[in-house]
Amino acid sequence: MTTHTNETQSTPVDTEAGIAAAEAARTRLNFGSAARKTFRAVIALDAAAREGLDPALVELVQIRASHLNGCAYCLHMHTNDARKAGETEDRLHLVPLWREARHFYTAREQAALALTEAVTSLPLGGVSDEVYAEAAVHFGEEELAQLIGVICVINTWNRVALATGKVAGVDER
């Protein structure tokens, strides 16, 4: 049983029981079962987009997009994956504020995070020439295309998870 103390109360919170209760109360469809062909296509796109990219960089990108999209399900999954890949707690905690903590991230990671924000937040101005050019400095043409693919795929997964009411803490892979 995983517990932690709620900051506003001194009573322990049973995280596993909370996850189980939230999942049991979920009333939305299971996308993987209801749209098998589409689900498999997104999985294939995800795998293809990751090819040739550093897995730790992919996780940072997925974490940042999930923050921006408010997807707790994907955020939980990808922070756990990043930890398994050796990512530090400091870097994970600072991803949303990477600009203020640039010294925790390489110039290449910063360029990827900036591109992630621009692609994820298209209605807020799109991908500026400056953001694109900085990413192009750190990624070759093929890698940059792969990175854009990863950003597009995590945005798709975030939308699927949010639309279907996925519960943070349940990893259905």
Q: Could you tell me which of 160, 157, 135 has the C-alpha nearest to residue 57?
A: 135
12 membership: H or E segment, kind and range: strand 12-14
In contact, 19 and 169? CB cutoff 8 Å: yes
Q: Could you tell me which of 84, 40, 31, 89 has the C-alpha nearest to residue 58?
A: 84
Render pLDDT for 81-118 as a digit per residue (tens, 0 to 9).
999 999 999 999 999 999 999 999 999 999 999 999 99
What tokens were used for 9? 């109360």
Render pLDDT for 17-69 as a digit per residue (tens, 0 to 9).
877 777 777 778 999 999 999 999 999 999 999 999 999 999 999 999 999 99
Q: Could you tell me which of 55, 6, 70, 49 has the C-alpha nearest to residue 143?
A: 49
